[in-house]
Amino acid sequence: MQQLTPSNPPIIAVIGLGYVGLPLALAFSKHYQVIGYDLDQARVDALKKGEDTTLESDAEAIKNASNLSLTNELSLIASATVFIVTVPTPVNADKSPDLSSLLYASSQIASLLKRGDIVIYESTVYPGCTEEDCIPILEAESGLKFPEDFKVGYSPERINPGDKEHTLQNVIKIVSGCDEESLDEIAKTYELVVAAGVHRATSIKVAEAAKIVENTQRDVNISLVNELSIIFNKMGINTFDVLEAAGTKWNFLKFYPGLVGGHCIGVDPYYLVHKAMQLGYHSKVINSGRYVNDSMGFYIGKQTAKKIIAQGKMIQEAHVLVMGATFKENVSDIRNSKVIDVVNELKSFQINVDVIDPHADSSEMEHEYGVSLATDIRKDYDAIILAVNHREYCQFDENYFKGMLKDGKGVFVDVKGIYRGKINDLTYWSL
């Protein structure tokens, strides 16, 4: 086993150059020779020009990374001694884990694996996946024996897209290894780039479970306030008013209602549910939380339609503007965005829907959801839904929204309640 010392530094290959992989590759390139690998040639070509569509890294940082090379050719990462896997792990249509990219990446690494190499997985998986699904591929297709010939570790990503405060460097990094030797070497490697330090998990399974629990906990708590918002709506009271009052107690946990999408919170709990099912346990709380959160887009769409009808308008002739399409504010990521559920529910009422977003790419929206972003904004909408609180959407006043509504009247749906107390003349509704 090679020692990762200044006299014998590793060559690091980062597999997958998305929201997680690129910042990681840039950070390691300040200390080591790094090869960034991605299957998408267009992505690699754009990065070589300093263009990052994720907006997680700026052009100068990419261009000035002298120890970083970028490629989509597998053979060019053969010299690496440490392979870090950061490929996406989404779910299938039936909510079962989609490990295809992870297993393919493992197969690619196996074709290059040498004695003394280390493979570190960062992709979110269920506990046991690294040892049960990935290592067998590495071993079988490389012809090497684990753990004698190569080592494996797991260090879950904790990047929050669009968050410039809680970055790779500023959040404690969970690390794990297949044995004490690999754990020590992996920990020391990450300590160079994570100023906040590392937490040495007792096993790979513990590290895998920790990441799943982080997002499952948030998902379950958000589902509670989403369910409360449905109840409070029937009572005619505002959920945010209730939470503001309840939040005055020192130990009240501050979660807020909203659309729960994206590649983490809206996906990771399903991985844990899947593993529990394999073990003969049917998760109740986690599944219930997922059901509530997955239904909120349809709920918002239906409530909007009801309020348009209540104003005496022909629903089939109604026009609605949806502001925001990404899964959260101030990012370009549309993966698993629940805004599309709002749109589809509105369309089920035969409502005409326009969608706009200053960060999303229209061609990606068309490819992923069959919905193009509108280029022209009407002046006669019957309702406006502020679905994503992008910074560009938080600076308006009521007159701005009136200017887009027919005769300056109509429904204003403020999903996250950012205009609460600021809308007086329009029919206002929020979760």
Cα-based distances in Å from 334 to 107, 172, 331, 357, 369: 28, 27, 8, 10, 10
123: left (phi over 0), alpha (psi -120 to 50) or beta: beta
Indicate which residue of 129, 134, 178, 264 is catalytic: 264
CA distance 45 to 325: 26
Q: Kindly tell me the sign of the dihedral angle through the C-alpha atoms of 178, 183, 189, 191.
A: positive
Listed in sequence order, the residues at least 6 apart from 64 whose beta carbon sits closer than 8 Å to its beta carbon are none
Please give the structure tokens belonging to residue 168: 């790779």
Under 8 Å between Cβ of 141 and 107:
yes
- The letter for the amino acid at 143 is G
Provide the 10 A C-beta neighbour count for residue 18. Answer: 22
Cβ-Cβ contacts under 8 Å for 312 (sequence gap 6 or more): none
Cα dihedral 261/286/172/6 (nearest 10): -90
Torsion of CA 117, 122, 124, 130, to 10 degrees: 10
Residue 177 three-state SS: strand
- 264 tagged catalytic: yes
The answer to whether 68 touches 25, Cβ cutoff 8 Å, is: yes
Q: Where are the alpha helices (DSSP H) in 91-179?
A: 100-110, 129, 135-142
Helix ranges (H only) for 158-311 are 180-191, 204-235, 239-246, 268-278, 285-310
User: Which letter, b or e, does each residue of 279-294 get, where b requires 16 or more Cβ atoms within 10 Å of its Cβ?
Assistant: eeeebeebbebbebbb
Q: What is the C-alpha to C-alpha distance for residues 156 and 412, in angstroms, rounded to an integer? A: 40
SS3 44: helix
Q: How many residues does the chain have?
A: 431
Q: Among all residues, which ones are annotated catalytic?
A: 264
